[in-house]
Structure formats: structure tokens, C-alpha cells
Amino acid sequence: MRIDAPKQVRTALQRLSGSGFEAFAVGGCVRDCLLGKTPGDWDITTAALPSEVETVFSDCRLVETGLRHGTVTVLLDGMSLEITTYRIDGDYKDARHPQSVTFSRNLREDLARRDFTVNTLCWNEQSGVVDLFDGLKDLNDGVLRAVGEPERRFREDALRILRGVRFAATLGFSVEPKTAEAILNTRALLEHIAAERIREEFTKLLCGKHAGAAIDRFSAVLKVFLPELSALIGCAQNTPYHCYDVFHHTLAALDAAPQQEALRLCMFFHDFGKPACRRVDENGIAHFKGHAAVSASLTEQILRRLRFSNKTVRHVTRLVEIHDTKAPPGRLQAKKLLASLGEEDYRALIAIKRADCRGKAQPHAIDGKLANMERFLTEILENGDCVSLHSLAVNGDDLLAAGVPAGAGLRKTLDWLLDAVIEERCPNEKGALLSFWTENASS
């Protein structure tokens, strides 16, 4: 089992061991390497006390924000490494943080306090992979198992409850029965966790390759901080186009979307407004008129509650609002849509509509329309067609010089001229546009 650790990690481990202190790379970085993935960051655990770590790395820039819990952040050759002393946690009173921390020189004592067995794996060049809690077996079997007594682990730190669901979504692992039972039994403790921490885990969960299955299994966990989810479960669609209730359609569409934050958030929330909009006609067919707008409103409320950035709130809400927009049937309609949305959201709409259809009775019903939508975009961009004020051959100064009054009417005139160019009623040339305005203004 080869661990291809970065040079800075190897150097840090060598420095600590060369100074007489046991040290290992630990947790997710080792797990991911063994799964053939590239770790996002590297954590080191060591027998060295924080003051001893600072002495070993006295020639480096040090960040001491985690000293209370034994963590020193070392900036080594451009890489940030969190180096944490072996420790034993005291009692937990807030379902998140230990009241006290006792430093230890014993690796097993440190690993025994961690969340899941696959995150207890350690490595250094001398010892190779060290496995004190059968993490390798669980890793090879694709099983997520709590370290020690599951409920105790989750009551110590309630964020582990959501982390368990997140790991199921990202790793595709099954959750060991006692661990799964404890996750469900302790889920109410998530009410004590800050919205920002919920947001981080929830976003990673949604972007997981196996998000749909994990959410289906642990929907009760998500309902603790997303009570709106309850209305989707069992909400029948009763239309020729659908084969799932709103909840399971949502999960299918979610899994079909690219693993990008904005798109996954959009697909998760895109039909949250359907239960409130559901109406059944005399033939028993369900209709959801106006659900996109209601879904967008709910999305904005929820994302703000979970403390997403204003940029993310605006972008995702906009995507939810437009998700039901029909694919343009021709190039002219495509240009108008592109002018309205911009290239980024036009491309996003293609991905959204494709994912949405994958959760329906005929999952490939609009593939041809979406292929045309992509082709129109390529042709428009390659041809250099004007679809924005930025590429319009006249600007506000040109219009003012031609006698257009200043004020709100100036922007309306620019928009009107852009429409004329898009609809090919006027060429995108300065003289032609000014003449076109003069002719129409006097009529």
C-alpha cells in the first residue's frame, strides 16, 4: 500500500521523528490515498506537545489558533499543515466541543476518540500504514463504522451525525447497522450545531456521487435542519411525465446533475415548491403551476438560513427560478435566451434540464432539444452574434450625442436596439443603429 505524500508532509514527519517524536499522517488524507484519490489537505498527529512542535519548526511560520486543542498550523515550503498532539478529550457538554483536552504520548488513545474507523488510519515512511481499529477492512469492504460505541461518538460531537451521511454520499459506503441506528437516534442533536458547519457538510453531501442513496436512507437527518423536505416525501405527481413522487424525482435529478455546488443545490431545491402548488384536475392529473417561483422563494429562505454567501444565494435561486424554462426551438429564440441569461446560466440550464429529465418517466425525452440548444450556442458564439449590450455597436454616450434624453429611457433605448439586432431587424453597426433609432423615434 503506497502512500504518495507530498514532499512537505514527508519533511514534517522526518523532522518530528528526527527530534524523537512519533508522528503520522492521519485520517482523510490516508483514507483517500488508499482509495486512489488525491487528498485535499494533510493532517499530522504526533506525540510531540504543542510547545515541542513549535521548537521543531521554529524556522517556519506558525499559526497558533488551535493551541487549546493541541493544534499548531505550520507553513512549510508553501504548504499549510495542521500538526496536532495526541490527545484524550474530556466530557462534551455542547454536543460539539470537549470541555477539556489532555495531551497524550499514546497513539491508540488519540485514535480512539475519532469518528469512523476509516478515518483512524495512519501512515509514515518507517511504519507504513498503521491500522489499530480495523479501518483497512472497513475501507476494503466499503463500510462506514463508528469508532467504539456509536451513540457515544455522536453525542460527543453531533456534527459527526451529518458527516456520517456525507461520507456515505461521497464514498458510496454502506453504513454499519449499529452506526446507522445511532445516526438516526441522535439526529436531533444537530439542532445544536451552527448553521455554517451544517452548510459545509450539507454542500459536500449534495456533491457526492452517491448523494441520492444517502439522502434516501437518512432523510430524517436532513429534516432536522430542512423541515421543508417532509412535504416532498410521498407527494405524488400523477402525470404521464413522471414515475416518482417529488422526493424521489428530486434524488434522481440530483444524482444526474454534474457534481458542481450550484447545480447540485439547484437540483435539490428545484421542486421544493411543488407540494404547495399541487392541484389535481377532474381526470386525476396533478398540476404544479407556478412551482418554479415558489421553489425559488423557498430556496432563497433556506440558503440564507444556512448562511450561504449572498452570491451563492442569488445564483442558485436564479437557477431554480429558470429551471422549467423551455429549450429554445430555433436560433433566434436561443439568442434571446442567451441575451437574457448570459452564457454561464445558459449552459447551466442545459445541465439542469438534462438532469431534471433523467428523473422522469422518459429520461431521454428532450435529449434532442438539448443537443440543439447546445448547437445553437456554439453557432452563436462562433459567429460572434451580438447578444449583449457589451457587444452592441453603440453605447450610452453615442445615444446621448444623437439626442436621446438622459435617464431611465437611455437604458430602455439600448435594450430596444439590442432586441432589434438579435431579431435581425437591424445590423449591429453604429451608423445603422443610430439611423434605425432616428427613423423609429420620429414615427
All domains of the chain, ordered by start, with CATH?
1-135 (3.30.460.10), 142-225 (1.10.110.30), 227-383 (no CATH), 389-441 (1.10.246)
Helices and strands, counts by H and E, the chain: 22, 13
Supply angle C-alpha 402, 380, 256, rounded to 5.
130
Instruction: Fill in the amino acid letter for 293.
Output: A
Tens digits of per-residue pLDDT, 91-148?
666 665 666 688 999 999 999 999 999 999 999 999 999 999 999 999 999 999 999 9
pLDDT of residue 65: 76
CB 273: neighbour CB atoms within 10 A? 24
Tens digits of per-residue pLDDT, 227-284?
999 999 999 998 889 999 999 999 999 999 999 999 999 999 999 999 999 999 999 9
Q: How far apart are CA 185 and CA 170, in angstroms?
A: 22
Torsion sign across C-alpha atoms 382, 387, 391, 392: positive
pLDDT of residue 66: 77
DSSP 3-state of 428: coil
CA nearest neighbour of 325 among 292, 297, 299, 301: 292
Bridge partner residues of 81 (DSSP): 74
Q: Which cell numbers hold the place of 418?
A: 439590442
Q: How far apart are CA 231 and CA 229, in angstroms?
A: 6
Q: How far apart are CA 298 and CA 329, in angstroms?
A: 30
Residue with cell 481499529: 133
Contact between 22 and 111 under an 8 Å Cβ cutoff? The reply is: no
Tens digits of per-residue pLDDT, 284-340?
999 999 999 999 999 999 999 999 999 999 999 999 999 999 999 999 999 999 999
pLDDT of residue 438: 87
CA nearest neighbour of 350 among 329, 333, 332, 326: 326
pTM for this model (two decimals): 0.92
DSSP for 236-292, written as a single string: ---STT-SS-HHHHHHHHHHHS-S-HHHHHHHHHTTTTHHHH-EE-TTS-EE-TTHH
